[in-house]
Structure 1
Amino acid sequence: MKPASDSRDSYRHFLRIPTRWMDNDVYGHVNNVNYYSYFDTVVNEYLMRKGVLDYERGETIGLVVETHCNYFRSIAFPDVIDAGLRVARLGSSSVRYEIGLFREGEDEAAAQGHFVHVYVDRESRRPKPLSEALRAVLDPLVVIQE
């Protein structure tokens, strides 16, 4: 069963993302592949701003092992998206990030989904425990799922 769309107040962090002309497909709305790009953008922007993602030299990297998206309403250029971010689960070496995409001025998500990242050693690609620094910046994003 498809879930209902969430409202803005269920997310802890937002990033404004303008759509681009090239995001639209021949049907006149943003193509589904771009939604995952928006998901990736809000997650990595947050981690970089908080100083816990060094994608060039960090010893630990996050690999996407699961993704999902539900679509509720179309988004189309020139819409501006407010990408909401929350954390649904902090594991020992994994994080479930949940994202809601909201058209500017709308309270209900046009799309929502998740990424699960497993944090691994850059060289061996073996899982590593989440660092204390990463846990500290993710804690404010954690929501209790009912």
Structure 2
Amino acid sequence: MRDDYRHWQRIPTRWADNDVYGHVNNVVHYAFMDTVINTWLIDHGLDIQTGREIGLCVESHCNYRASAAFPDVLDAGLRVGHLGRSSVRYEVGFFLADDVIAEGHFVHVFVDRTTRKPVEIPAGLRTAMEGLVVA
């Protein structure tokens, strides 16, 4: 299953990520997905401060298979499941050792920062995203 992902990022859990039940709370996985995706985007040229295009999340989802808890360190795998003209579906798998504990997705639509109207994914970013596409 690890071979299904093209990019990897390690994510240390924090004390505050645990809930009263002693595991990483479900909403934290969404923050982790957002972090993995946006770190990758920034590393590949998206200017989140002043760039003309920005990616807005229009859909997100997560399936949970097992728990994690502080002080676990997760491996987050990133891939692209669909690459459209102005939208992209990122898929993220969270692994603890060799076990997948959660899988989720985010759909971004790229829009003009000012008008919020959809725009094409910038060419350089699209080329980088193509390297994350899985069949």
| TM-score normalised per structure 1 | 0.90
| Structural mapping, 1:109-128, within 5 Å | 109-128=100-119
Match of 1:68 in 2: 61
Pick from 19, 24, 28 the counterpart of residue 13 of structure 2. Answer: 19
Pick from 45, 48, 58 the counterpart of residue 42 of structure 2. Answer: 48
Gaps of 5+ in 1: 1-6
Moved over 4 A (4+): none
The structure whose residues are more often strand, as a share, is 2
Structure 2 counterpart of 1:38, which letter? F
Deviation of residue 48 (structure 1)?
Answer: 1.1
Structure 2 counterpart of 1:59, which letter? R
Deviation of residue 47 (structure 1)?
Answer: 1.1
Structure 1 counterpart of 2:102, which letter? A
Deviation of residue 117 (structure 1)?
Answer: 0.2
User: Could you report, residue by residue, the CA deviation over 1:85-112 in whole angstroms, capped at 9, with x for unpaired residues?
Assistant: 0000110100000000111x22x31000
Match of 1:97 in 2: 90
Aligned length: 135
Deviation of residue 59 (structure 1)?
Answer: 0.3
Structure 2 counterpart of 1:133, which letter? G
Gaps of 5+ in 2: none
Deviation of residue 54 (structure 1)?
Answer: 1.0
Structure 1 counterpart of 2:75, which letter? D
Deviation of residue 130 (structure 1)?
Answer: 1.1
Q: RMSD between aligned alpha carbons?
A: 0.7
| TM-score normalised per structure 2 | 0.98
| Structural mapping, 1:128-139, within 5 Å | 128-139=119-130
Match of 1:143 in 2: 134
Aligned residue for 1:38, secondary structure, equals helix
